[in-house]
Structure 1
Amino acid sequence: MLCTKTERRFWRTRMIGSALMVLAAACAPLPAMAAAPARVAASPVEPTKGGAGGRIIRVTSLAKNGPGSLREAIDAKGPRIVVFEVGGVIDLGRDVLEIREPFLTIAGQTAPSPGVTLIRAGIDLKTHDVILSHMRVMTGADGQPHFSQWEADAFSTVAAHNVIVEHCSFLWAVDENMSASGPRFEGRTPAEWRAHTSHDILFRDNLAAEGLANASHPKGEHSKGSLVHDNATGITFYRNIWAHNVERAPLVKGGAQVRMINNLIYDPGHRAVHYNLMSLEWAGHDYVTGQITAVGNVMRGGNSTDPGLPFLMLGGDGDLAFHGRDNRAVDRFGNALPMFGRYGETKARLVEAKEPLASLDGFDILPSGAVEASLLASAGARPWDRAADDIRVLFFVAEGRGEIIDDEHQVGAGYPKLAETRAPFVATDWNLTSMTPRSGRYPGQKGGAQEKLSDRDRAMRGDSK
């Protein structure tokens, strides 16, 4: 079928992915389409330009630290664009990579195939004006005992602001896969609380999947998608996929303000979107009403999803102002699920708003019926050059397969083992403002559907590759 005008505009300005065959059925080809994904030029919805205009720092080593390493580039001062002349796996050895210096762009799209994957790792971003693109983080339990102290997020902002996290893949977190966090009550007023915690964060086109349930987190079960901590504001989730997380897709805490547009939530366990201002955590502070604006999102039940699970659940003691439009929720058989539910017999109220509580200007918004096919083709790191586990997760979403897991070895051999690759970064071949290749072709770009096939599958299909 032909794309609508909105869909045509979307594909011209955003990307085409080649991850799944489903894309071919979604829209008829358009001659004006680019051949590969590209980041949107700066627009009113983008809170930062990162390190644009700064010096180029080349990552030339897959070592966890030292000369030429990613950590060395991140720790450098001043505006900078981090590019990669090496591809493969960076093993952080159950360490967390902290980003503390502002005005930074990390451009994983510049790496030679197969891109850059961080394992036994997490990223805590503790600064401002950062763009993180096309990186893979696979945290994993790494054999640590249950209830031990390995409890890393795959990615979290910590009292950060003016940040874009786009086209990244976050798998196997032991805490959240992809969050915005910080202190609740630094300062004396709600305005000061908001200024001192995470704010103005854009999560766009990411894959946050397979948070580990009964692994090494000291609290026990902790398969979580995304946490938006109390009083965080200006937090936007645009075109992301959450898959196979017990809950938090996302969890919005007390007084936080969140905008959700065209996201896909697949196989949530006990909760999908939920809001909770906990009286135990707000003792001595006046409650602040939270806000969620949700437009064009899809929740689809899977093998791990509780029967009758609502799209949005309300817990705790504080009120939530909510504007929802064109959201859909279905079980694994396509039967409609309720929009709203509760957990906890408390005085929290859902206050429905007729108009959006956050501006939707500048966003290309697809109808909810077009969201799944679009995101399966585009979300996650390097959709033109998919990693094997990304392909597995996306195909399982498309096929209605998969489940919540406790350990990375339940879905294969564990952490990827990838050969180191090298290629020089030639600055004149790139638009250094948008970090897109002038040729229109990205490193390692592949055509057609990217499937992970066994030797037998290949032989049956007449494919000897």
Structure 2
Amino acid sequence: MANAPIESAQAQARGVALAGTLPAPTSGGAGGRIIRVTSLAASGPGTLREALDATGPRIIVFEVGGVIDLGRSTLSISQPFVTIAGQTAPSPGITIIRGGIDVRTNDVILSHIRVYTGADGQPRRSGWEADALSTVAAANVWIDQCSFLWGVDENMSASGPRFTGNSVEEWRAGTSRNIVFSNNLAAEGLADSSHPKGEHSKGSLIHDNATGIVFYRNVWAHNVERHPLVKGGAQVLMINNLIYNPGHRALHYNLMALEWTGQPYVDGQITAIGNVMRGGNDTDEGLPFLMLGGDGDLSYYGRDNLAVDRHGNALPQFGRYGETRARLIHARRPLAPLDGYRILEARDVETSVLATAGARPWDRSADDIRVLFFVAEGRGDIIDDESEVSSYPASTPTNAAFIEGQWDLATMTPLSGRYPGQTAFAAPQENLSPRDRRSRGE
């Protein structure tokens, strides 16, 4: 439909998840065998890596909770038809540190996993440059209710080769396509860290010719740019996302002539509805919501998007970097289908997504709570190293059997309505100092 209805926050369910509120791009490993993760080791028997390397349709569940230390390596998902259900883990859930995840296949669902990449003490510009999460020429992927912090390259991206084949259709078939990012937190990309290019605090990169890319109800916070960066010929739908404290750019499009030499330009497409951009401590004065760079044209449909500085003053909707012939072509109707999405008014987005975005909203980590509370309070900064704000989490492993009969295996939701580690439906509270607790009588 051309114009999906906009709903109020009161009309939307708040809390654990928004199952069924968007068109899912895949059913993942539904109907496949259940594989139980019983070890937090980086590799070996009973580990997440072993489960990912298995073949055939499968649902990966967790009978252990705690921290998986990848030791500056990357988990690669290369076998299709898999659901990774982090919501099944006992408290505190699953947190992956010192590494990231690459999705290199089709039909994948990843939910309720935290990835805290970090510089891990590596010298600045020394070459460690992991994404927290990236799809690499993947298709039909759903990344839902995850937390991605301290990426050294991007925090969550859809990537792949730029030109595979001899036509636009073949290019698009050879890179990431039909990727949905929903209800995620992508924050504190590291700026002047170990990336060899230098400053590289980036939210999300959508690579050239990627199509069917959806961002729905995500929170980006404290990244210099790429919220997201949409490259040449890519097609993106953005609904009800919150961008807080972008540095130099929020949403931007750039088909670079230097990267398209000898190839005909392809117009990009962005549909943006009900998104909010709020400036913070590091945001450039006068930063627009959308910026156009490079040489290629962008077709754009925008509706009900708010952009304000740190004091609530309106910011422009559109700007440029680079003086080229690239055109912003205003579309009269959405350039992507909106059927199945529940769309909030922009004024209701912040309240709603801060309550629901990120992994395990019923059982949040200390760092997720810190970031979300700082967004709500208008605090926080872009950082160069995770040690400026926190440290890698450490926890004693917890164990609990996964009992199939207690779960709806089609949706991976508990039949009781209560998730592991969920003791109440009240929102998690900010961590308080002993003095604050005493002053509040706690």
Pairwise TM-score range, normalised by the shorter structure: over 0.9
Structure 1's consecutive aligned runs of 4 or more residues displaced over 4 angstroms after TM superposition are none
Matched-pair contact (CA < 8 Å) for 1:317–1:348: yes
Worse-superposed segment, 228-237 or 441-450: 441-450
Q: CA deviation at 1:39?
A: 5.1
Match of 2:246 among 268, 273, 294: 268
Q: Distance in 2 between matches of 1:393 and 1:7?
A: 22
Q: Distance in 2 between matches of 1:146 and 1:174?
A: 11
Matched-pair contact (CA < 8 Å) for 2:9–2:352: no
Q: CA deviation at 1:6?
A: 4.7
SS of equivalent to 2:374: helix
Q: Distance in 1 between matches of 2:113 and 2:123?
A: 28
Q: Distance in 1 between matches of 2:166 and 2:224?
A: 35
Q: Distance in 2 between matches of 1:267 and 1:301?
A: 5
Q: Distance in 1 between matches of 2:18 and 2:383?
A: 32
SS of equivalent to 2:272: strand
Name 1:366's counterpart in structure 2.
344
Please say if 1:443 is aligned against 2:416: no
Match of 2:136 among 150, 155, 158: 158
Q: CA deviation at 1:8?
A: 4.5
Name 1:63's counterpart in structure 2.
41
Match of 1:135 among 91, 107, 113: 113
Q: CA deviation at 1:10?
A: 2.5
Match of 1:82 among 60, 73, 80: 60
Please say if 1:456 is aligned against 2:410: no
SS of equivalent to 2:354: helix
Name 2:182's counterpart in structure 1.
204
Provide the alpha-carbon RMSD of the alignment.
1.1
Please say if 1:92 is aligned against 2:70: yes
Q: CA deviation at 1:449?
A: 3.3
Please say if 1:250 is aligned against 2:216: no
Please say if 1:409 is aligned against 2:411: no
Matched-pair contact (CA < 8 Å) for 1:61–1:86: yes
Please say if 1:49 is aligned against 2:27: yes
Please say if 1:427 is aligned against 2:409: no
Q: What amino acid is aligned across from residue 384 of structure 1 in structure 2?
A: W
Q: CA deviation at 1:66?
A: 0.4
For the structure 1 residues 263 and 5, does the alpha-carbon distance in structure 2 shift closer, same or farther, using more than 3 Å as the test? closer
Name 2:3's counterpart in structure 1.
none
Q: Distance in 1 between matches of 2:21 and 2:104?
A: 23
SS of equivalent to 2:343: coil
Q: Distance in 2 between matches of 1:362 and 1:402?
A: 35
Q: Distance in 2 between matches of 1:183 and 1:131?
A: 22
Listed one character per residue, the Cα deviations across residues 424-452 of structure 1 (whole Å, up to 9, x for unaligned) are 11110000000000000001114323221
Q: CA deviation at 1:159?
A: 0.1
Q: CA deviation at 1:9?
A: 4.4
Q: Distance in 2 between matches of 1:293 and 1:42?
A: 18
Q: Distance in 2 between matches of 1:201 and 1:230?
A: 14
Listed one character per residue, the Cα deviations across residues 12-35 of structure 1 (whole Å, up to 9, x for unaligned) are xxxx33xxxxxxxxxxxxxxxxxx
Listed one character per residue, the Cα deviations across residues 165-216 of structure 1 (whole Å, up to 9, x for unaligned) are 0000000000000000000100100000001100000000000000000000
Q: Distance in 2 between matches of 1:236 and 1:56?
A: 28
Matched-pair contact (CA < 8 Å) for 1:38–1:436: no
Name 1:10's counterpart in structure 2.
12
Q: Distance in 1 between matches of 2:295 and 2:89?
A: 47
For the structure 1 residues 56 and 9, does the alpha-carbon distance in structure 2 shift closer, same or farther, using more than 3 Å as the test? farther
Matched-pair contact (CA < 8 Å) for 2:295–2:325: yes
Q: What amino acid is aligned across from residue 19 of structure 2 in structure 1?
A: V
Q: What amino acid is aligned across from residue 354 of structure 1 in structure 2?
A: R
Residue pairs, 1:261-300, within 5 angstroms:
261-300=239-278
Q: CA deviation at 1:7?
A: 3.6
Please say if 1:117 is aligned against 2:95: yes
Q: Distance in 2 between matches of 1:174 and 1:204?
A: 22
Q: What amino acid is aligned across from residue 278 of structure 1 in structure 2?
A: M
Q: Distance in 1 between matches of 2:161 and 2:122?
A: 28
Aligned residues: 435
Q: What amino acid is aligned across from residue 428 of structure 1 in structure 2?
A: G
SS of equivalent to 1:280: helix
Q: What amino acid is aligned across from residue 29 of structure 2 in structure 1?
A: G
Could you state the TM-score of these two structures normalised by the residue count of structure 2?
0.97
Matched-pair contact (CA < 8 Å) for 2:179–2:213: yes
Q: Distance in 1 between matches of 2:297 and 2:208?
A: 13
SS of equivalent to 1:308: coil
Matched-pair contact (CA < 8 Å) for 1:6–1:364: no
Q: Distance in 2 between matches of 1:8 and 1:329?
A: 22
Q: CA deviation at 1:418?
A: 1.5
Q: CA deviation at 1:347?
A: 1.1
SS of equivalent to 2:375: helix
Q: What amino acid is aligned across from residue 339 of structure 1 in structure 2?
A: Q
Q: What amino acid is aligned across from residue 127 of structure 1 in structure 2?
A: T
Residue pairs, 1:187-336, within 5 angstroms:
187-336=165-314
Q: Distance in 1 between matches of 2:18 and 2:320?
A: 38
Q: CA deviation at 1:38?
A: 3.7
Q: What amino acid is aligned across from residue 10 of structure 1 in structure 2?
A: Q
Q: Distance in 2 between matches of 1:39 and 1:417?
A: 30
For the structure 1 residues 403 and 42, does the alpha-carbon distance in structure 2 shift closer, same or farther, using more than 3 Å as the test? closer
Q: CA deviation at 1:41?
A: 3.7
Q: Distance in 1 between matches of 2:365 and 2:398?
A: 15
Matched-pair contact (CA < 8 Å) for 1:39–1:434: no
